[in-house]
Amino acid sequence: MSDRKPPGGNSPYRGPPAVARDKRARAREREPAVEVAVDATPREQRLYGLNACLAVFARRPEAIRKVWLVETRIPKLKAVIAHCVQQRLGYTIVGEEDLGKLSGSAHHEGVCFAALPTEELSLSEWLRDLPPGPATALWLDGVGNPHNFGAILRSAAHFGAAGVLLPKGSELSLSGAAARIAEGGAEQVPMVRLGRSDNAIAQLQSAGFALAATVVRGGSALYASKLPERLVLVIGAEQLGVTEPLVQALPLRLAIPGSGRVESLNVAAATAVFLGEWWRQRKT
């Protein structure tokens, strides 16, 4: 180890002299700024299930990046294969076991896509493009199970819901399992990411929507209620229901009457009942 003392005798070493530091600083100022490129490419996701994949192909063929299928699915997917050839996209014939590994599910139904995810809209964007007149939407407050989410999306598509509204802090998003359960419905219903709950409520009310908390007890009986033409149904998580602050913020509360032999319906089944009654009142 060297015995040489740093400049300045016994004083602690402070780096290069001030003149040298100034020269280096001026040199750095003359150097061009270097921009670090940020990869803004949306992540791909694996979608599987015949109807789910066919719906992606029908509505967003440009989102498809790669296709895997079993040989027996070739007749049903001829148009998809032709698209892959035309667009120079990879497609591979694989076995059932390999497709299970690629999709992450044994319920792949013989096909799996690597595709860009659907784009979520902001509430302002969704309201801007929403036509006037009757409309219903679902605000999912705490729903997290992908199978319930998929079933809700299927019902939303069947009854013509205008959108599914997702809370700001919710981790809920479309997965392969949800898309398969939705049977193509995930491609039919816009998904909207909300901001603060109080702001979202105000925006929706300004756009003419009434908001109804769906509850097990203490709400107006669904079949005895005249439902507003523009209605947002706030759907709570399984077992927990709509969070109390949100219930308190909404004067309209709806419940599904039943025999009382069980406490309530599964959240996906309840959503279908609420949507079906709104649809019935609009169409009769």
Say if residue 97 is in the same domain as residue 225. Answer: no
Beta bridge partners of 184: none
CATH number at residue 56: 3.30.1330.30
Say if residue 166 is in the same domain as residue 195. Answer: yes
Give the model's pLDDT for residue 29.
Answer: 43
The answer to whether residue 183 sits within a structural domain is: yes
The pLDDT > 70 percentage for the chain reads 85
Indicate the pTM of the whole model.
0.83
Say if residue 102 is in the same domain as residue 139. Answer: no
Spatial separation of the C-alpha atoms in residues 128 and 233, rounded to whole Å: 20
Residue 26 has pLDDT above 80, yes or no: no
The answer to whether residue 6 sits within a structural domain is: no
Domain span including residue 94: 45-115
The answer to whether residue 35 sits within a structural domain is: no
Say if residue 102 is in the same domain as residue 125. Answer: no
Give the model's pLDDT for residue 169.
Answer: 86
Spatial separation of the C-alpha atoms in residues 215 and 234, rounded to whole Å: 9
Say if residue 139 is in the same domain as residue 184. Answer: yes
CB-based burial of residue 264 (10 Å sphere; 0-12 exposed, 13-18 middle, 19+ buried)?
Answer: middle
Say if residue 276 is in the same domain as residue 161. Answer: yes
Residue 34: pLDDT band with limits 50, 70, 90: very low
Say if residue 240 is in the same domain as residue 180. Answer: yes
Say if residue 67 is in the same domain as residue 199. Answer: no
Spatial separation of the C-alpha atoms in residues 96 and 261, rounded to whole Å: 43
Rg for the chain, CA atoms, rounded: 27
The answer to whether residue 243 sits within a structural domain is: yes
Which of 247, 156, 245, 234 has the alpha carbon at shortest distance from 194?
234
Structural domain ending residue among the three candidates 97, 115, 133:
115
Say if residue 207 is in the same domain as residue 132. Answer: yes
The pLDDT > 90 percentage for the chain reads 78
Encode pLDDT of 121-164 as tens digits.
Answer: 999 999 999 999 999 999 999 898 999 999 999 999 999 999 99
Structural domain ending residue among the three candidates 93, 115, 137:
115
Say if residue 126 is in the same domain as residue 254. Answer: yes
The answer to whether residue 33 sits within a structural domain is: no
CB-based burial of residue 136 (10 Å sphere; 0-12 exposed, 13-18 middle, 19+ buried)?
Answer: buried
CATH number at residue 273: 3.40.1280.10
User: Contact at 8 Å (CB) between 274 and 214?
Assistant: yes
Provide the residue type at 219 as one letter.
Answer: G
CB-based burial of residue 66 (10 Å sphere; 0-12 exposed, 13-18 middle, 19+ buried)?
Answer: middle
The answer to whether residue 39 sits within a structural domain is: no
Structural domain ending residue among the three candidates 64, 80, 115:
115
Provide the residue type at 150 as one letter.
Answer: G
According to DSSP, the β-strands at 210-214 and 230-236 are: parallel
Domain count, the chain: 2
